[in-house]
A and B are shown apart, each in its own frame.
Chain A
């Protein structure tokens, strides 16, 4: 099966005051369609940088990225923007919703950007918000709703164009445990429906929801474990902890 996302020797080096820091080193990664992959590691290990490079928010220093069979690491900024619009959904730790647009407008915005007719964008937004159980906050501004609700809005915004891959950067990192559980339930549900997901976290319980867990340390992949079959999150968490 062709991979949705594939990287080859992906590297990122930051240079400041003639000191070079390797944030990501020779990462080879293959994400299959419908796969849910967690990237774990301590703070500063380069997992967010890797995720940003997968979504074109950051440029690799070396290596290659393929998305849906096309090499994309050399795309212009505009090319990446168009690609993100159509095929990549981003969810961030701090939600990053647009503060003075309503929830409804936040969700519709990427659809409108992609050229979806307003009526269709509205229908899609209503469908998603209902699905995520937040249709009653559609006309609120993000600042007026809870963190869990904000992250669900961010998910709805990321999913509105039916992306090929959902990139989630610590999506539960800024939430209490109940809200984190709700958000992970949603992510799992979309994964079950066939959504390809790459999630960055340092929480083993969150990582345990994935099909595969990739461990990073000092910018490089140090370990990879496939979590197949039926499992409950607690048992997987203990397994992951042992591995680390």
Chain B
């Protein structure tokens, strides 16, 4: 029996060669999308672990800032299993554009086994002087590629380094949030950059027998050495930084890849079940020839599984070279190794996933069709049969729509299960578009209102100089800015719980440009504080309660007068008037200065002038640029996923309509026999597609808004609900004509096929 089924299946595939090839192409496309979406999903989940695995990252990193301390005692510490280093490093400044950045040149003639940077482009440095391998996020931020030249400054001397490679590491988070960035050079280059050995640092990487003991080892090292001479941090610290920086992107990519997976699954399911349903007459003939319902099911499963295996392998193989190209950008943003496309998960999804979907969506309709009575199945002259009139067609008739539109509306639901699948697939596309519009709207709002980023100023000036010198520098540009506010960041602790709180002490007329208060009011003077939601949640406090803190060793009690939106540190943050601090503490503050500048261009001009005139001691940041940079990084990925989903939706719609038309040639012939012109048949088919699209929009818009909200909350649990912005109603309204145009374009080819049906041929039964 098995042999008979197999031979019949192969014969069937051969006899309908064009049809089999078309279906094979759809399955191959679906397999490719599945492999890509799975690759993206795998890349987006646990980015730190991926990088750590790829670089055999250490558990504890130790940095000795000068040559005074002997690090050999660390190597002897109990629990240390493997050591890499010590290696010399030198901190240098990388020249702009856009601005000077801190860079650590690490001496690494050869890549060690432990903490081994992975090359994503180019080659490793030669022992000769003057070559550098840049950490990828730094190279990307500075638009540097293999073959470019990097200008560095150390102790007043300028050097040029030839970029020969780009690498990734799990020892640091991505630049610019994690600064200084790493760059790997030959020992001679470190020596040339920092000729005085006492100015060179050393780094040591440790692998522990028990990774969970890393915090204890860090504490032990911190006890042995003064913090200004030796610093130690463990893998968890880097993981937290990387995770908090990439969590938003991870959620976005995860959601988008899930949508793409579902949509690709729908395409395959739709095409395959449609093929089985269209073979109703063949099923009748097979049963007449002695096939049992189980045999019929087996035959169709065998036929489609053979096709799916071949197409799945081809689609997956096509995805392998495409995956690194498409996922390079997301990998760069996540700081993960570029996916090769040859991972177990994408290949399994592309081949096994496709086989599972094909088997399921073949077996179900084939089993149902196998139970048909032979005579019903092979009866000629069968048109679409229904137990009750089409309610949508009745509605269309009541609305006095033209007759072709009534027929189209009716036709939209002629094959109900297929219609539902098409609606779901189109709905996923609409969901993705709505979520994208929501993301865009949120970015637009956040760009337009810097207080939503807890930065109610246009330019932030950070200076290594004294407050007096900074004031003097700013005085030169009086008139180009207004409302200077001092902002002194400091770590404070909650004495009872030991909770680390990110605090800012403000000076100047901060009330003129308040923070984004969501509850209570802006602080008005000393003794008051506004706090983030994370702090309230962690300490179980409410607006109106007292907040006890220890700031720079001094106890401080403040009244919480408001809650503001704080995107950093999980909103475990507090802002208060600097005059709340004891005078002695106030004197020790080194505040940054926030300036209000009327235009972004003006802010950029002032930024350039201040950095130039300070001779490197001041660094200015235009707040507008930060979000824009983030938006520009995320935008191609989100839009790319939209294009993928739209393409899948388009293929699905075309497939569904083509299958529907093939199944219902006879109906179109009847339409023509009662006087529908080819254009009216075309209109009827297009109207059918439009109805499905409108239903998809009606469900997809609220579903997309809900998904967007969920993504925003997952990205930023504390302030996400306050920041998430629903797209404006007219943007949502534009989706309706947009999706109608989309379905019309998708439906043109199938509709033309329907309009070209020859009635005599379709109705022939002589």
User: A77 contacts the other chain (Cβ, under 8 Å)?
Assistant: yes
A225 at the interface (CB under 8 A from B): no
B737 at the interface (CB under 8 A from A): no
Q: Which residues of A contact B676 (CB under 8 A)?
A: 81, 113
User: Interface readout for B120-148 with A: 1 if CB under 8 Å, 0 if not?
Assistant: 00000000000000000000000000000
The reply to whether B403 and A85 form a contact with Cβ atoms under 8 Å apart is no
* B248 interfacial by beta-carbon distance below 8 Å: no
- Asked whether A100 lies within 8 Å of B759 as measured between CB atoms, the reply is no
Interface residues of A in 110-157 (CB under 8 A from B): 110, 112-114, 118, 139, 141-144, 157
Q: How far is the CA of A76 from the CA of B676 in the complex (A)?
A: 13
In the complex, whether B12 has a CB less than 8 A from a CB of chain A is no
* Residue on B nearest A200 in the bound complex, by CB: B766
Provide the residues of chain A in CB contact with B706, threshold 8 Å. none
Given contacts A57-B672, A81-B676, A113-B676, contact A93 B381 (CB under 8 A): yes
Identify which of residues 374-413 in chain B touch chain A, using a CB-to-CB cut-off of 8 Å.
380-390, 393-394, 397, 400, 402-403, 406-407, 410, 413
Contact B675 A99 (CB under 8 A): no
* Bound: A47/B765 CA distance, A: 12
Q: Given A78-B678, A90-B674, A101-B410, is A49 in contact with B760 using a C-beta cutoff of 8 Å?
A: yes
Among residues of A, the one whose C-beta sits closest to the C-beta of B764 is: A48
**Inter-subunit contact B387/A85 (CB<8 Å):** no
Q: Is the CB of A143 within 8 A of B675?
A: no
Q: In chain B between 140 and 188, which residues have their CB closer than 8 angstroms to a CB of chain A?
A: none
Q: Does chain B have a CB within 8 A of A66?
A: no
Is B598's CB within 8 Å of the partner chain A?
A: no
Question: Given A78-B677, A82-B677, is A52 in contact with B759 using a C-beta cutoff of 8 Å?
Answer: yes
Q: Do A98 and B397 touch across chains, with their CB atoms under 8 A apart?
A: no
Complex Cα distance, B678 from A82, in Å, reads 11
Partner of A105, one of B381, B397, B766: B397
| Interface size band for B | 35 or more
> Contacts A96-B763, A97-B383 hold; do A58 and B758 have CB atoms under 8 A apart?
yes
Known: A48-B764, A78-B677, A110-B674. A100 touches B389 (CB 8 A): yes
B390 neighbours in A (Cβ, 8 Å): 100-101
Inter-chain contacts of A112 with B (CB < 8 A):
402-403, 406
Determine how close the nearest CB of chain B comes to the CB of A23; give it in whole angstroms: 9
- Mask, B658-683, CB within 8 Å of A = 1, is 00000000110110111111111000
Q: Roughly how many angstroms separate A119 CA and B428 CA in the complex, as a whole number? A: 42
- B414 and chain A: residue at smallest CB distance: A100
A residues near B402, Cβ cutoff 8 Å: 112
Query: What distance in Å separates the Cβ of B392 from its nearest Cβ neighbour in chain A?
Result: 10
**How far does the alpha carbon of A52 sit from the alpha carbon of B765 in the complex, in Å?**
12
Q: B760 contacts which of A58, A81, A85 (Cβ < 8 Å)? A: A58
Contact with B along A42-53 (1 / 0, CB 8 A): 011001110010
Whether the Cβ atoms of A105 and B389 lie closer than 8 Å is: yes
| Shortest Cβ gap from B691 to chain A (Å) | 14
- Contact B678–A141 (Cβ < 8 Å): no
How many contacts A-B (CB < 8 Å)? 127
Interface string of A88-104 (1 = CB under 8 A from B): 00101111111111100
Contacts of A58 in B (CB 8 A): 758-761
Q: Across the interface, do A98 and B675 meet the contact criterion of CB distance under 8 Å?
A: no
Q: Roughly how many angstroms separate A142 CA and B403 CA in the complex, as a whole number?
A: 19
| B383 adjacent to A96 (CB under 8 Å) | yes
CB neighbours of B388 from chain A (8 A): 100, 141
| Distance of A90 Cα from B675 Cα, bound (Å) | 10
Using CB atoms, name the residue of chain A closest to B389.
A102
Beta-carbon contact of B389 and A101 below 8 Å: yes
- What is the bound-complex CA distance between A154 and B403, given in angstroms? 18
Q: How far is the CA of A96 from the CA of B669 in the complex (A)?
A: 9
Contacts of A85 in B (CB 8 A): 674-675
Docked-complex contact B381 and A94, CB < 8 angstroms:
yes
How would residues 671 to 701 of chain B score, 1 for a CB under 8 Å from any chain A CB and 0 otherwise? 0111111111000000000000000000000
Contacts of B758 in A (CB 8 A): 57-58
A98-B383 contact in complex given A81-B672, A82-B675, C-beta closer than 8 Å:
yes
> Are A93 and B759 interface neighbours, CB within 8 A?
no
Asked whether B673 lies within 8 Å of A55 as measured between CB atoms, the reply is yes
- Do the beta carbons of B673 and A90 come within 8 Å of each other? yes
Q: Are A96 and B381 in contact (CB under 8 A)?
A: yes
CB of B758, distance to nearest CB on chain A (Å): 7
Q: Does A109 interact with chain B (Cβ within 8 Å)?
A: yes
Give chain A residues whose Cβ lies under 8 Å from the Cβ of B414. 99-100
- Is the Cβ of A143 less than 8 Å from the Cβ of B386? yes
A81-B676, A109-B403, A114-B675 as given contacts; A98 in contact with B384, CB under 8 Å: yes
What are 5 contact pairs spanning A and B, CB under 8 A?
A: A57-B673, A82-B675, A99-B386, A99-B414, A102-B389
| B residues lining the A interface (CB < 8 Å) | 380-390, 393-394, 397, 400, 402-403, 406-407, 410, 413-414, 666-667, 669-670, 672-680, 758-761, 763-766
